């Protein structure tokens, strides 16, 4: 999603977001927290190697609770070491892509992980081959009481489990069934040549993904249009390949679902998270009901920018000029700590630890990974990678990743290793909750109308990008899967028509659907991971409901319920975990509520633009002055 620089009270701002060289180490990872030296790394590496034949010796013997418990204990010890080994090599490589030690260790652990996977591949098939009655007895046995939910999940899988020979055959076919994504990646990332455009100052810019996103925010509309049309034209050359690979991927998903006796690819994807179909259906139906609010926002953009119609290349240009100074990282830290105070002193104490103990690698450096993420192992603290540049986007990204980190901290303090993960359905709740809280705090602290306007637009864009857009993607997915399941094909023309029709429906009468926008579907790699994107929307709705309860509840019960959710990890299905946190995602109400909030924000934007007497020509001139010099 796109964000704009925030103007804060002058007293909080320094002249630069960058630290002095003496302070910089405080914002770099200390990977010695994982292993003090390569010697310790090799010791765990050898321990995993030694454990593999012992694990393999259990094959064919999983018929009583005591033996299975012994296997689980050894497997956990081995997996935890392997997780740390992999983390160490991965982080070192992301700090410096040319680190030869990291490359060597990474290759060693990758090979070791493959051996581990081969030696332990028998476990789940053997357990699933047991009669359901036996699985139920194992679930309630004393030696396996810590694995009751795990066996509950196995029982849920039982009706969709094939014979041993069929399972082996499906496992052998799996790489081929997933090859469409690999072909797409080669076409979209390897073979694809991004186009170039000339800037108003005469310089030629190659439209990489990052550059293209920046161009769509440029205040010179002629330049935005040129960039958009060049990018759209460049996709034309690969649309037939992309259509064929997407068709192959969807066919594979539907075949897999059919073989496993699911009624559809959607049903199979939802079953993987124990999510009822009504959650997906409610999400799309509620969003459809609230499309008029999105139409109104597009109309407001049209008026504010002084346009006849809003084209795709007008959807991201800021409505407020970006002229404020960057936010220093120490200020960002203070803002985040203040904004998250509603979550309680223990939460803030853990966030403080993250900064004090170097859990964050903050600044961009040559040869460092350019993205951002939170990762870690069960036996380490979290590690957050950022490329902080002083923008509001950077501050919110820091808060977002700290949400993921705190989720892991609370879970790992409470849950055993086998319940320490998080479903995607719940993982994004903790991160977006932090963003909601921080945005609310910043809005209350804003000193000027301009600051409030920027933050208001940020909240609107967050909901547009994370909910409306992802639901539109989900509608696209549902339609193409239904068509393939019913024996239809997917040609580039059909996909283009479907995509363009959805754009018109979602953005409304003020939006002009350019033919070049029709190829937007081929830019979304998530479509090769079926029915993944809807979870971003449900997570945003769930976190909005949780934060709203925290802000309005004076008893502290809402915070208590939320902490219980953070501690629960993967110990139950996502729907039940969220219900305990006070959010029923089987009801349309959480989605309805966040969409009503969107409508309120759009009304407030209209009021603020009107009260500030903004004329379209003035807005464009202000944006132009702020941008042409960059």
Helices first, then strands: H and E counts in the chain = 27, 5
Task: Give dist(CA 8, CA 339) in Å, integer.
Answer: 14
Task: Give dist(CA 390, CA 482) in Å, integer.
Answer: 45
Distance of CA 444 to the CA centre of its chain: 27
Task: Give dist(CA 79, CA 129) in Å, integer.
Answer: 23
Task: Give dist(CA 321, CA 340) in Å, integer.
Answer: 28
CA 348, 346, 379, 416 torsion: positive or negative? negative
Task: Give dist(CA 236, CA 247) in Å, integer.
Answer: 17
Nearest to 184 by CA among 237, 241, 247: 241
Within a 10 A sphere around the Cβ of 622, how many other Cβ atoms?
A: 17
Q: Among 254, 299, 401, 461, which one carries the catalytic annotation?
A: 401
Burial classification of residue 325, based on how many CB atoms lie within 10 Å of its CB (0-12 exposed, 13-18 middle, 19 or more buried): middle
Q: Do 489 and 559 touch, CB atoms closer than 8 A? A: no
Q: Which residues contact 38 (CB under 8 A, 6 or more apart)?
A: 101, 105
Residue for token pair 């559809």: 264
Task: Give dist(CA 79, CA 366) in Å, integer.
Answer: 33
DSSP secondary structure letter of residue 378 = T
Task: Give dist(CA 253, CA 612) in Å, integer.
Answer: 52
For the chain, report the end-to-end CA distance as a whole number of angstroms.
21
**401 an active-site residue?**
yes
Task: Give dist(CA 551, CA 558) in Å, integer.
Answer: 9
Task: Give dist(CA 155, CA 151) in Å, integer.
Answer: 6
The SS3 call for residue 274 is coil
Q: Do 188 and 242 touch, CB atoms closer than 8 A? A: yes
Phi, psi of 595 (to 5 degrees): -75, -30
Task: Give dist(CA 221, CA 411) in Å, integer.
Answer: 48
Q: What is the largest CA-CA distance in the chain?
A: 77
Please give the C-alpha separations between residue 106 and each of 329, 375, 380, in angstroms, as whole numbers. Answer: 31, 16, 18
Within a 10 A sphere around the Cβ of 120, how many other Cβ atoms?
A: 19
The SS3 call for residue 205 is strand
* Residues designated catalytic: 401
């Amino acid at each position: 999603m796109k964000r704009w620089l925030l103007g804060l009270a002058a007293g909080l701002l320094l002249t630069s977001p960058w630290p002095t060289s003496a302070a910089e180490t405080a914002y770099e990872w200390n990977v010695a927290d994982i292993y003090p030296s390569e010697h310790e790394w090799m010791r765990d590496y050898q321990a995993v190697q030694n454990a593999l034949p012992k694990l393999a010796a259990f094959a064919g013997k999983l018929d009583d609770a005591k033996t299975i418990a012994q296997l689980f204990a050894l497997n956990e010890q081995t997996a935890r070491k392997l997780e740390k080994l992999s983390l160490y090599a991965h982080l070192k490589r992301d700090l410096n892509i040319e680190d030869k030690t990291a490359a060597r260790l990474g290759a060693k652990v990758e090979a070791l992980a493959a051996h581990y996977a081969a030696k332990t591949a028998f476990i789940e098939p053997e357990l699933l081959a047991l009669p359901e009655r036996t699985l139920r007895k194992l679930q309630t046995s004393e030696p396996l009481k810590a694995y009751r939910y795990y066996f509950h999940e196995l029982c849920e899988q039982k009706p969709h489990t094939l014979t041993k020979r069929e399972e082996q055959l499906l496992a052998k076919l799996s790489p081929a069934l997933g090859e469409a994504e690999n072909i797409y990646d080669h076409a979209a990332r390897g073979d694809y040549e991004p186009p170039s455009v000339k800037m108003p100052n005469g310089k030629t810019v190659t439209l990489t993904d990052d550059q293209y996103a920046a161009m769509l925010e440029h205040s010179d509309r002629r330049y935005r249009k040129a960039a958009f049309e060049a990018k759209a034209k460049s996709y034309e050359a690969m649309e037939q390949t992309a259509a064929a690979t997407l068709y192959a991927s969807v066919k594979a998903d539907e075949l897999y679902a059919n073989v496993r006796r699911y009624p559809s690819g959607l049903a199979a994807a939802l079953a993987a998270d124990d999510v009822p179909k009504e959650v997906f259906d409610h999400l799309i139906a509620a969003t459809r009901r609230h499309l008029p609010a999105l139409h109104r926002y597009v109309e407001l953009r049209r008026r504010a920018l002084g346009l006849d119609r809003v084209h795709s290349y007008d959807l991201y240009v800021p409505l407020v000029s970006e002229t404020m100074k960057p936010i220093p990282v120490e200020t960002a830290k203070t803002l985040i700590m203040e904004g998250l105070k509603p979550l309680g002193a223990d939460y803030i104490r853990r966030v403080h630890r993250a900064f004090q103990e170097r859990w964050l690698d903050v600044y961009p450096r040559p040869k460092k990974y350019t993205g951002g993420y939170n990762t870690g192992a069960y036996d380490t603290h979290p590690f957050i990678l950022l490329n902080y540049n002083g923008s509001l986007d950077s501050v919110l990204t820091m808060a977002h990743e700290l949400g993921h980190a705190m989720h892991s901290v609370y879970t790992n303090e409470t849950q055993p290793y086998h319940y320490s993960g998080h479903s995607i359905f719940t993982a994004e709740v903790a991160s977006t909750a932090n963003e909601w809280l921080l945005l609310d705090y910043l809005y209350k602290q804003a000193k000027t109308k301009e600051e409030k306007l920027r933050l208001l637009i940020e909240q609107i864009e967050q909901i547009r990008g994370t909910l409306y857009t992802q639901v539109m993607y989900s509608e696209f997915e549902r339609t193409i899967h239904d068509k393939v399941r019913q024996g239809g094909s997917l040609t580039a023309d059909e996909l283009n028509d479907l995509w363009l029709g959805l754009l018109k429906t979602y953005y409304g009468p003020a939006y002009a659907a350019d033919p070049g926008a029709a190829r937007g579907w081929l830019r979304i790699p998530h479509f090769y991971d079926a029915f993944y994107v809807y979870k971003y929307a449900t997570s945003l709705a769930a976190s909005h409901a949780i934060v709203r309860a925290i802000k309005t509840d004076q008893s502290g019960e809402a915070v208590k319920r939320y902490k219980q959710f953070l501690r629960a990890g993967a110990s139950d299905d996502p729907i039940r975990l969220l219900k305990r946190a006070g959010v029923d995602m089987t009801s349309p109400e959480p989605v309805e509520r966040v969409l009503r909030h969107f409508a309120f924000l759009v009304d407030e934007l209209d009021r603020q633009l009107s009260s500030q007497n903004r004329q379209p020509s003035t807005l464009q001139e202000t944006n132009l002055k702020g941008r042409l010099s960059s």
